[in-house]
Every structure is written in C-alpha cells, then in structure tokens.
Amino acid sequence: MSCFFHPEAKKEFSDAVGYYESCSEGLGLEFSNDIYATIQRIVNYPYAWSYFSESSRRCLAKRFPFGVIYQVLENSNEIMIIAVMQLNRKPDYWKRRL
C-alpha cells in the first residue's frame, strides 16, 4: 500500500518539524523520524487501529504528542494522511478535510 498527504496535513507536519527544530537543533529530525515510523506502521498494518471517525483511523506517535489521522482508500489501495494532529489541539479541526 502507498500513502500520500492531504495538502494541509503536509503543511502541519512541516510546521511541526520547524517548530521542534527551533526548540532544539536536531529535535525536528527526531520528530520527523517518529512520524515517519508511525506512517510506516500504518502502511504495514492499515486496519490495526480502530476508527476515530466514521471513515478515518488514528495511530499515535511513540515519542511526541501527535497522532496521524488517515483513511484507507479501498478502490485505489492507498492511504491518505488527513492530519498530523497535535493531541492537545482542538480535536475535530481536521474533519473538514474529509
């Protein structure tokens, strides 16, 4: 299965990398590695996480307080990353992307 980012998810991921890098040199790379490991778990086991909304699922990052919200697009055998969500942020902000 392949995956792709919703444009807004790609921007929020990039913004978060920049934020963590501004906090401490190298922390942005560590954050990026954590999120990519989370995405790899999703690609390997797309149905392992329970539904977060009617059509999307959420997998939590291991180190950082983020979750990756995604949908499995059955007809195209792809995964769309809808949000790279900071867990203490307004919880339903990403739903308008569906």
Q: Which domains does the chain have, with CATH numbers?
A: 2-88 (3.30.2310.20)
Q: Are 82 and 10 in contact (CB under 8 A)?
A: no
pLDDT for 64:
96
Per-residue pLDDT tens digits for 7-45: 999 999 999 999 999 999 999 999 999 999 999 999 999
Give yes or no for a contact between 63 and 34, defined as CB atoms under 8 angstroms apart: yes
* pLDDT tier for residue 93 given thresholds of 50, 70 and 90: low
Please report the pLDDT score of residue 87 as a whole number.
Answer: 85
Q: Please report where in the chains the tokens 């769309």 appear, as a residue.
A: 80
- Neighbour tally for 53: CB within 10 Å: 14
Mean pLDDT of the chain: 92
Name, of 5-14, 47-56, 86-95, the range with top average pLDDT: 5-14
Residue type, 81: I
Write out the two tokens for 6: 């919703």
Residue type (1 letter), 1? M
